[in-house]
Structure 1
Amino acid sequence: MELKDIQNLIKFVAKSGASEVKLEMEDIKITIKTGEEKGETTYIQQMPSMPQQAAPAAAAPAAAPPAESVNEDSKYITVKSPIIGTFYRKPSPDKPMFVEVGSTVGQGDVLCVIEAMKLFNEIESEVSGKIVKILVDDASPVEFDQPLFLVDPS
C-alpha cells in the first residue's frame, strides 16, 4: 500500500463519519480513528516481511456521494464507486433492477447498492440523463473509484 493510498483512505474515513476503521493486510496494519475533539489519528505498523500475495480488500462502513468525471473521449458521464464492496443492481433478489440500459434517471435516483461490511449503501445519481452502459455485473466486487455506469446527460 502506497502513501497516496493511505492518504486517500484517511480522507475517505474522515468524510464518511466513521469513528474508527482498522485495515489489516499481510504486511501492514492501519488504524484510523476520528473524533471531533482529537482530529484524525493514524497508526501504521509495518509487519515483518512475508512473501507477496494478494491482500484482502477492506471498506469503510459509510457511503459517500458517487464520484463522477467526464471522459475526454466521450460525451458520457462516468458514475464511479465511492467505496469498496459488492455491487448489486437490485435492492433484494426478489425485486426488480434499479436501472437498465436505456433507463432515464434524475438527480438523486438510486442506481445500485454496494454492500460493504454488511451495510448496504445506496448509490444515487448526481446527474440527470439516460443510462448508456452498465459496466459491472450484478453481485460483483468493486473497488473504490471503479466505473459503474455511463450516463448520457443530454
Structure 2
Amino acid sequence: MARDTSKDRFAAQNRKARHDFFIEDTLDAGMVLTGTEVKSLRLGRVSINEAFAVEKDGEIWLLNAYFPEYESANRFNHEPRRPRKLLLKHREIKKLHGQTERQGMTLIPLSIYFNERGIAKMQLGLAHGKRKVDKRATEKERDWKRDQHKLMKTRSRAD
C-alpha cells in the first residue's frame, strides 16, 4: 500500500475548539502512545472533542481523549480514556504552566497528525473560553465576510 505523501495527515481534529475558544498560541507536542493506540489513531477513530491538557508534576498530560480499542489487538489492548503524557521541552512546560496558572488559560488539543516521518504529533492551543456574546459576534463576522465575497464575485462577473 502506498504511503500518504501529504506533509500533515490529520488523524483527529477538534473542529469545535475554534468556535468555543479564543486560540492565543499554538504549539506541537509529541505523545507517548502504545502500539494499539497508534493503530487506532491511523484508522481515524480517535476523538479529542472533550479533551484538555493539564500540567502535573512538571509534565503535561492529555486527559479525556478517547482512543477506541483496536479490535485485532486481543488481550494486549489499551484503556480507551487513560491519561497520556505529552512530550514538550522543559522551557515550554514552564511557560505553559505560568500562563495557565496566572492568566486562567486552558490547553486544548486542536488536532493530531502524522508528520513526514510518520510520527504522531498533537497541535495544542493555548486558549481562553468564549462567552455566548463572543460566539455570536464571530458568527456574524463570518457571515458578513461570506456575503461580501459573494458580492465581489457577482460584481466581477458583471464587468
Q: Normalized per residue, which structure has more helix?
A: 2
Normalization by structure 2: what TM-score? 0.25
- Structure with more contact order per residue of length (Cα contacts < 8 Å, sep ≥ 6): 2
Which is greater in Rg?
2
